[in-house]
Amino acid sequence: GGVGAGGSTGSGAVGPQEVGQPQSGQRRIWRGLNNKCPEQSDADPEWYQHKRHVLVYTYSGKPVYTRYGSEDGLSGTTGALSAIVSKISTFFFAQQNTPDSLRYMLAGDHIFAFLERGPLWLVCISRCGDTYPDLVRLLEHVHAQIISILTAGIERTLQTRPNYDLRNLLGGTDCVVNSMVRWCTQDIYLQMEGYEPLPLPPPVRSIAIESLKAARMNNILCGFLMAGHRLLAIVTNRQYRVHATDLSMIINMVMSSSSLRNGESWTPVCLAHLNDKAFAYAYISFVEDSEVGVVFLSTVSDGEQFYTISQQAATVKRTLRLSGCLHQVEEAMARCPVDLHAAGAEESQRSERASKRSFAPPPPVGQWRLMDGIIHAAYFVPSLQQYFSSSIAAPYQVRRRTKALFRGYGRCRLLLRTAKMPSQICVATDHECFYVSLTSEFHMYLAVPRGISTGVIGQFYQWVKSQESHLFLGNLPTW
């Protein structure tokens, strides 16, 4: 049967005639320019034209962060939102035994999603067709990024000094929060509770892992190697279990700041899943003229520790270069994200060669042919907190169509929110079909042209299983 043949037609599908300049996802998310329209305020009609606002303010209505405009010019809006939240709470929740608060409001084609975190309120105002759960996940990531910069100690500060201006502490880090918003809306990241490894041959990855394992030091939580926003190797202290969200916050912070990628950096960072009221310290150093970086997370911040880590990091970088690992990593980065059209062709050729060597019957003609039609695919392993995400088909690399793809996955997850696992769903729009399968072992996401054979689901699954050792880090080694 064909996926979506005879299925329902969804609204808001992007027509095939739309054109635009495709752009690298990484460059689009972690771009140099801030582009916040800082001169705008809520008195300007232009401010209301933005399609997705993100606001953070204290329970006293004092603005902390805005994606667009100037915080100073939005006190009227944040004050009104604070009053609405307070009134709703008084009218509807005051008599309840269990605490509750305003979650969302609908106004025309806008949705106002609210998230309360201690003395902070986070609000997303969207007219992009986002689902409420997706907006809440977005706000949770924004809050996690703020905590990674300031620690949860800011909550105690705000409770004792409600008029305290948090912007003094956040100064200069707006670009980090802005990048997190873009990462959540222009990538599959929002649907995943994990991090993305760099696809790499196991022998090459082993060299990187062994170089980190050789850098054993006291008071180190973990060390990892970045390849852009992907990770190519991680080694952890056996007493510390690294959490994907904490890793993501550090990756976004590094990717958002060119200063952290130049020279050697030593910066405080809060690992909320370890201790949300204290700082750890991140040593960051990138290989010269490369997007490959070495990061160590330390529990102590003295100069002697920095010097020790610096020496070990230099050894790691030297090993990567002399072994040829660095060259192969850079080649792998150039091929990311993986093009499934090319991957299917390579797999077919490999299967034919293997069958000739073993005298087995050749694979069926076009065994992997259906993968040519995949618009985008992703695969997440919950037990590892790791995911794979393919390239997006060229006609969909325009920003608007890319965002629509990932919103499609969000709608599928919304429909599965009360389903028991294992569960799966296929949703057809005018031009695409979205397939999502959720099990305890894996989550699979597929976007394909409407009418393609359902065999594409099995082909992608089999391809991932055949490439697991390349696509994922597996269980993390320890010191």
Contacts of residue 420, Cβ cutoff 8 Å, sequence gap at least 6: none
Instruction: Tell me how many domains the chain contains.
Output: 3
Tell whether 8 is covered by a domain. no
Tell whether 25 is covered by a domain. no
297 is in which domain, residue-wise? 202-335
Clarify whether residues 280 and 315 are in a common domain: yes
Clarify whether residues 64 and 154 are in a common domain: yes
The Cα–Cα gap between 296 and 292 comes to: 14
Clarify whether residues 257 and 347 are in a common domain: no
Q: Which residues of the chain have pLDDT under 50?
A: 1-22, 354-365
Would you call 400 exposed, middle or buried from its count of C-beta atoms within 10 A (0-12, 13-18, 19+)? exposed
Question: What would the pLDDT profile of 432-478 be if each residue is shown by its tens digit?
Answer: 999 999 999 999 999 999 988 889 999 999 999 999 999 999 999 99
Would you call 118 exposed, middle or buried from its count of C-beta atoms within 10 A (0-12, 13-18, 19+)? middle
Clarify whether residues 314 and 351 are in a common domain: no
Q: Which of 135, 162, 186 is the last residue of a domain?
A: 186
Q: Of 374, 380, 373, whose CA–CA distance to 468 is shortest?
A: 380
**Residue 359, amino acid:** F
The Cα–Cα gap between 181 and 82 comes to: 22
Question: What would the pLDDT profile of 206-241 be if each residue is shown by its tens digit?
Answer: 999 999 999 999 999 999 999 999 999 999 999 999
Clarify whether residues 390 and 405 are in a common domain: yes
Q: Of 280, 265, 269, whose CA–CA distance to 310 is shortest?
A: 265
Clarify whether residues 276 and 164 are in a common domain: no
End-to-end CA gap in the chain: 51
Tell whether 395 is covered by a domain. yes
Supply the pTM of this predicted model: 0.89
Residue 287 phi, psi (nearest 5): -60, 135
The Cα–Cα gap between 221 and 238 comes to: 9
Clarify whether residues 49 and 178 are in a common domain: yes
- CATH number (domain holding residue 164): 3.30.450.70
Clarify whether residues 279 and 346 are in a common domain: no
Tell whether 448 is covered by a domain. yes
The Cα–Cα gap between 214 and 217 comes to: 9
- DSSP string for residues in 230-289: EEEEEEE-TT----HHHHHHHHHHHHH-GGGGSSEEEEEE--HHHHTTS-EEEEEEEPTT
Clarify whether residues 382 and 294 are in a common domain: no
Q: Which of 153, 186, 219 is the last residue of a domain?
A: 186
Tell whether 318 is covered by a domain. yes
Clarify whether residues 400 and 276 are in a common domain: no
Tell whether 138 is covered by a domain. yes
Counts of helices then strands in the chain (DSSP H, E): 15, 15
Residue 96 phi, psi (nearest 5): -80, 145
Residue 97 phi, psi (nearest 5): -75, -35
Tell whether 34 is covered by a domain. no
In this structure, the chain runs to a length of 479
Token output for 93: 């929740």
Residue 75, classed as helix, strand or coil, is helix
- CATH number (domain holding residue 328): 3.30.450.30
The Cα–Cα gap between 184 and 403 comes to: 10
Clarify whether residues 50 and 172 are in a common domain: yes
Q: Identify the pLDDT of residue 167.
A: 84
Q: Which of 134, 154, 186 is the last residue of a domain?
A: 186
The Cα–Cα gap between 39 and 69 comes to: 6
Tell whether 33 is covered by a domain. no
Sheet containing strand 376-381, edge to edge, reads 386-389, 376-381, 443-449, 432-438, 423-428
Clarify whether residues 237 and 299 are in a common domain: yes
